[in-house]
């Protein structure tokens, strides 16, 4: 919950060379002479805290993934248990100080980052909930197509998905080009205007209203599509930070932060269903039974869209005035590469070096959306089995509410386990795909047995609910996370938007296909996408659970410089590479000892650059506390690096600075 900035100092397991490697920074001969034998011991003592943090390395400096399986489990369990104990203690102290403080913490760390997805989930899934109401109130338009064009009625689903695809590609590109903050603001503005269009949708004829409704959904969908890459990248980079150094919070809780934002989509669905039920009861004279008047349907659907419009307008304000640093990590990455605007070179390098990952994220998302939207489209057939011959919309909505509740359980369990290194992203995604395959393939080949014989309907019900649970616990949550996590910062939003757009093609396929096949055939078709998703995940997706995201950025820096073979760190550890990448030899340069040497040089170069920037800006170290590098690391680099002007300046908190100001300390006040 709160980042633990304390790191234990570890001693080097072996005698690492101290002379700068050929691929290290150009620090000149002074550095070689300064790093003498006495300072060598200082380096081993001081640098270990940054290079081998105690949540990823043993006291001997061994990375957790290099341990035998039994020791891996023991080490990671000890780290997780200690972290859980600390978090529970912190929660206890928060409650003791203020019983409502955990609620405000959750609001800041989950509700606010995921507010856009929550509002999007509310509106997006209300379309499927409202269609039965429209069919009952205006059967000549929505059911028999006597007054409305069937193509336009069916276009409600298609144009909504088309708008989302446009938004995912467009805003993903803009989010990397002009920044996360403007992408987030733009999404909120588009969704707000789209909601106004939905509330005010009208026509001189019923068909005219349907056309207006369709295009309002398309416009709203553009904002919805942009929420995917923007929310994922903003939540991830907020967890990671924009500095050069990694954080414990990033390594242990990055996945949880992103999925806590994502699960707000489930709450959006939940509140939409609750509000629709309440509105129908209010405007239909306390009854949910047919027949439904046109007036009650009008009030119900228009007010259901007006309520999220208020929340979306507030979101426009919040993102405009309360999120000034949303693009900080992207700006830092661009500055490091001397890039303004869109980083075309990074995009080319990503397709060259991480093409397999694009197949994994886009392919798995496609397979998942056939399931995810297929599950929603199966809903009417499922309810027809549970409540045969019912004509009440309220019955359908109540069963849907139960299904959303089951889905929320899956969302939360995913958030709880996604950073556990034994479970993790990749295994969760494979398990979710496998279970969805099994839970759909069984009724496919025994449909009459489960759906038509009353004695077995409870089993059919259990399989349907479990498919919702495992879809949220597995691929629906993990695809959202990994599509941002496995790509470099300069093109993270673009890669996520592309993957999400390919996923929505899966939703479009399901929406079109289901219009032409019967219920049992749907069960025959859908399971194989679960099996395909599991295989794509197994072959192409790397497991980034527990991997320091800054280390991935460091690897990409080497790739960008054309020196990929000189990178030896954990980002190319076989555990963190896909099978496809290992077959292609991506992990052959992994070498912890060489990596120690190059990382010291990399840290020194970054520190030197930072000091030079401060002095160029005429910012005195006496008055500019270094909030990133620990004091002993700062002092070690100051002693062993030739930075002009450093000898005259003291870092706050150093012994010299303390001696100089000891006699000038103000007296304590009475």
pLDDT(17) > 80: no
How far apart CA 429 and CA 412 sit, in angstroms, is: 15
Share of the chain above pLDDT 90, in %: 52
What is the SS3 string spanning 84-122? HHHHHHHHHHHHHHCCCHHHHHHHHHHHCCCHHHHHHHH
Cα Dmax for the chain: 92
How far apart CA 126 and CA 134 sit, in angstroms, is: 12
Higher pLDDT, 475 or 631: 475
pLDDT(658) > 60: no
Determine the topology of domain 106-540 in CATH.
Answer: Growth Hormone; Chain: A; (1.20.1250)
Is residue 297 helix, strand or coil? helix
pLDDT of residue 272: 94
Give the single-character DSSP code of 491: G
Residue 57: φ, ψ to 5°: -130, 150
Lowest mean pLDDT among 199-203, 336-340, 529-533: 336-340
- Nearest alpha carbon to residue 468 among 393, 535, 401: 401
Task: Over range 398-421, report the average pLDDT.
Answer: 93
Name residue, tokens 């930075």. 643
How far apart CA 454 and CA 351 sit, in angstroms, is: 53
Give the single-character DSSP code of 640: H
Is residue 517 helix, strand or coil? coil
| 615 HSE (CA, 13 A, CB side) | 15
Measured in whole angstroms, the distance separating CA 330 from the mean position of its chain's CA atoms is 16
Contact 135, 143 (CB under 8 A): yes
How far apart CA 48 and CA 6 sit, in angstroms, is: 13
pLDDT(539) > 80: yes
Instruction: List CB contacts of 551: < 8 A, sequence separation 6 or more.
Output: 246, 569, 570, 571
How far apart CA 26 and CA 31 sit, in angstroms, is: 9
Task: Over range 139-153, report the average pLDDT.
Answer: 92
Tokens (6 digits) for 405: 């509740």
Instruction: Classify burial at 33, counting beta carbons within 10 Å of its beta carbon; exposed 0-12, middle 13-18, buried 19 or more.
Output: exposed
pLDDT(110) > 60: yes
Is residue 63 helix, strand or coil? strand
Instruction: List CB contacts of 67: < 8 A, sequence separation 6 or more.
Output: 58, 75
Lowest mean pLDDT among 11-20, 475-484, 490-499: 11-20
Instruction: Output Rg (C-alpha) for the chain, integer angstroms.
Output: 28
Predicted confidence band at 541 (pLDDT cuts at 50, 70, 90)?
very high
Q: What angle do CA 17, 22, 24 make, to 5 degrees?
A: 80
pLDDT(29) > 60: no
Measured in whole angstroms, the distance separating CA 524 from the mean position of its chain's CA atoms is 32
Paired with 538 in beta bridges are: none
Is residue 125 helix, strand or coil? coil
How far apart CA 237 and CA 329 sit, in angstroms, is: 6
How far apart CA 79 and CA 256 sit, in angstroms, is: 16
How far apart CA 396 and CA 323 sit, in angstroms, is: 40
Predicted confidence band at 351 (pLDDT cuts at 50, 70, 90)?
very high
CA dihedral 428, 429, 433, 435 (to 10 degrees): 10
What is the helix (H) or strand (E) element at residue 240, kind and residue range?
A: helix 206-240
pLDDT of residue 649: 44
Paired with 57 in beta bridges are: 63
pLDDT(86) > 50: yes
Higher pLDDT, 320 or 637: 320
- Nearest alpha carbon to residue 486 among 243, 182, 241, 255: 255
How far apart CA 259 and CA 110 sit, in angstroms, is: 9
Name residue, tokens 């859908």. 526
How far apart CA 152 and CA 141 sit, in angstroms, is: 10
- Nearest alpha carbon to residue 292 among 281, 303, 278: 281
Tokens (6 digits) for 266: 């489930």
Contact 64, 56 (CB under 8 A): yes
How far apart CA 145 and CA 439 sit, in angstroms, is: 35
Contact 259, 481 (CB under 8 A): yes
pLDDT 10s digits, 211-253: 999 999 999 999 999 999 998 888 888 766 555 567 888 899 9
Q: What angle do CA 552, 558, 563 make, to 5 degrees?
A: 145
Predicted confidence band at 380 (pLDDT cuts at 50, 70, 90)?
low
Share of the chain above pLDDT 70, in %: 84
């Amino acid at each position: 919950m709160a980042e633990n900035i304390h790191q234990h100092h570890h001693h080097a397991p072996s005698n690492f060379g101290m002379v700068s490697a050929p691929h290290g920074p150009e620090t000149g001969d002074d550095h070689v002479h300064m790093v003498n034998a006495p300072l060598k011991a200082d380096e081993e003592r001081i640098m270990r805290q940054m290079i081998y943090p105690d949540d990823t390395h043993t006291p001997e400096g061994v990375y957790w993934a290099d341990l035998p399986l039994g020791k891996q489990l023991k080490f990671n369990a000890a780290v997780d248990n200690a972290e859980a104990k600390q978090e529970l203690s912190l929660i206890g102290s928060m409650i003791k100080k203020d019983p409502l403080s955990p609620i405000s913490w959750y609001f800041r760390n989950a509700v606010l980052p995921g507010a856009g997805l929550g509002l999007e989930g509310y509106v997006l899934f209300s379309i499927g909930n409202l269609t039965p109401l429209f069919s009952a109130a205006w059967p000549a338009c929505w059911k028999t197509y006597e007054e409305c064009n069937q193509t336009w009625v069916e276009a409600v689903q298609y144009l909504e998905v088309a708008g989302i695809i446009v938004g995912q590609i467009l805003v993903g590109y803009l989010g990397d080009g002009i920044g996360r903050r403007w992408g987030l603001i733009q999404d909120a503005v588009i969704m707000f205007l789209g909601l106004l269009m939905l509330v005010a949708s009208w026509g001189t004829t019923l068909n005219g209203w349907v056309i207006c409704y369709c295009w309002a959904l398309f416009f709203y969908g553009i904002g919805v599509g942009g929420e995917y890459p923007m929310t994922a990248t903003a939540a991830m980079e907020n967890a990671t930070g924009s500095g050069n150094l990694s954080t414990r919070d990033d390594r242990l809780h990055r996945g949880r932060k992103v999925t806590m934002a994502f699960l707000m989509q489930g709450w959006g669905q939940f509140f939409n269903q609750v509000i629709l039920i309440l509105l129908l009861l209010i405007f239909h004279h306390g009854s949910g039974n047919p027949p439904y008047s046109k007036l009650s349907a009008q009030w119900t659907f228009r007010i259901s869209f007006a309520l999220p419009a208020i929340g979306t307008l507030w979101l426009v304000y919040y993102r405009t005035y309360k999120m000034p640093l949303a693009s900080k990590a992207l700006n830092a990455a661009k500055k490091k590469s001397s890039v303004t605007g869109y980083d075309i070179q990074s995009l080319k390098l990503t397709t060259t070096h991480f093409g397999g990952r694009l197949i994994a994220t886009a392919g798995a998302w496609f397979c998942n959306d056939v399931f995810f939207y297929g599950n929603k489209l199966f809903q009417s057939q499922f309810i027809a089995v549970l409540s045969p011959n019912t004509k009440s919309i309220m019955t359908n909505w109540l069963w849907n509410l139960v299904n959303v509740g089951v889905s929320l359980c899956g969302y939360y369990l995913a958030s709880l386990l996604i950073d556990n290194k034994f479970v993790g992203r990749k295994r969760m995604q494979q398990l979710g795909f496998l279970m969805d395959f099994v839970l759909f393939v069984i009724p496919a080949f025994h449909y009459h047995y489960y759906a038509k014989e009353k004695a077995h309907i409870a089993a059919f019900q259990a399989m349907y609910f479990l498919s919702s649970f495992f879809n949220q616990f597995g691929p629906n949550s993990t695809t959202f996370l990994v599509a941002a996590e496995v790509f470099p910062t300069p093109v993270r939003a673009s890669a996520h938007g592309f993957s999400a757009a390919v996923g929505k093609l899966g939703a479009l396929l399901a929406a079109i296909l289901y219009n032409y096949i019967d219920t049992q055939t749907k069960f025959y078709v859908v399971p194989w996408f679960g099996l395909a998703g599991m295989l794509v995940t197994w072959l192409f997706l790397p497991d980034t659970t527990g991997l320091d995201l800054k280390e991935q950025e460091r690897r990409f820096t080497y790739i960008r410089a054309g020196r990929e073979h000189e990178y030896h760190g954990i980002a190319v550890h076989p555990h963190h590479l896909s099978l496809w990448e290992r077959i292609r030899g991506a992990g052959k340069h992994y070498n912890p000892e060489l990596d120690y040497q190059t990382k010291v040089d990399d840290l020194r170069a970054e520190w030197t650059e930072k000091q030079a920037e401060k002095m160029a800006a005429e910012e005195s170290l006496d008055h500019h506390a270094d909030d990133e590098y620990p004091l002993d690391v700062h002092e070690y680099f100051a002693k062993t690096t030739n930075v002009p002007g450093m000898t005259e300046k003291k870092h706050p908190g150093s012994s010299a600075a303390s001696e100089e100001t000891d006699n000038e300390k103000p007296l304590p006040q009475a």
